[in-house]
Amino acid sequence: MGNYNFFVRGKRWAKFFINYCGERLRGLDFSMLYVSDLQKHTDEYHGYSMTDGDDMKRMLRAVPVDPSRSAFLDVGCGKGMCMKCASELGYHTVAGLDLDDYLLGIARRNMARLKLNADCIQASAVEFDGYAAYDVFYFYNPFGKSVFQQVIRKLLESQYKRDREIWVVYYHPVYGELFQQAGFRLADEKKDRTRDTVARYYHLPRKEDALL
């Protein structure tokens, strides 16, 4: 993800700086500054980095659901930028979960400041038991292969609790093949060649429809 050109990089830094100052003035904090030991990358735990708000909205607009009838969950939500975007696009339920309590504290403050009704859940994605309540899931490369396998299994199991279509938006899809191996269909892939980023869209039909 790091080989886009100098001009694009400069523009992104300028945007980061302007956003950072704007956020501080409004009492918000989505910035990607170093925060805690937990934020160190390991094979299975990938630390905080933020999805750009405009990119997130573009990605969510490409999901073929009616947001006003859909529930969104950011798996590994960090400071909550994606919850903010999903709320602004009109999702009727918005939530995020994260392992890191420190980040979640900031996410909660951000949501309160913006007067958004988004549930910030402190949980490991592997232990979390509430996937059945959501339809659209967002992953920004939050963890490694073995965690992903367990989380995908939980998504599949959640269809037994509530049979519904599942959409996954996977940004920087390092382990994308795991979704296909689990029976998801790769519905779309969007590449931003200027920035060298990729988002994949995976779809799992309702169990009832899959049997037809």
Ligand X SMILES: C[S@@+](CC[C@H](N)C(=O)[O-])C[C@H]1O[C@@H](n2cnc3c(N)ncnc32)[C@H](O)[C@@H]1O
Residues in contact with ligand X by the rule CB under 6 A:
45-51, 74, 76-78, 81-82, 97-100, 103, 124-126, 140-143, 147
The residue written with tokens 């500054």 in the block is 33
CB 199, CB 173: distance < 8 Å: yes
Query: Residue 80 Cβ, how far from ligand X at the closest point, in Å?
Result: 8
- DSSP letter (8 states) at residue 194: T
Nearer to ligand X, 51 or 158 (CB): 51
- DSSP letter (8 states) at residue 132: G
The residue written with tokens 């949980």 in the block is 123
Query: Residue 127 Cβ, how far from ligand X at the closest point, in Å?
Result: 8
The amino acid that residue 197 corresponds to is T
b/e 68-94 (16+ beta carbons within 10 angstroms → b): eebbbbbbbbbbbbbbbbbbbbebebb
Nearer to ligand X, 67 or 142 (CB): 142
What is the C-alpha to C-alpha distance for residues 201 and 212, in angstroms, rounded to an integer? Answer: 23
The amino acid that residue 57 corresponds to is K
Nearer to ligand X, 57 or 206 (CB): 57
Residue 117: count of CB within 10 angstroms of its CB:
13
What is the C-alpha to C-alpha distance for residues 172 and 210, in angstroms, rounded to an integer? Answer: 28
Sign of CA dihedral 16, 17, 20, 26: negative
Query: Residue 25 Cβ, how far from ligand X at the closest point, in Å?
Result: 21
Query: Residue 163 Cβ, how far from ligand X at the closest point, in Å?
Result: 25
Nearer to ligand X, 6 or 107 (CB): 107
The amino acid that residue 77 corresponds to is C
Query: Residue 65 Cβ, how far from ligand X at the closest point, in Å?
Result: 19
Nearer to ligand X, 61 or 207 (CB): 61
Nearer to ligand X, 119 or 163 (CB): 119
Query: Residue 208 Cβ, how far from ligand X at the closest point, in Å?
Result: 30
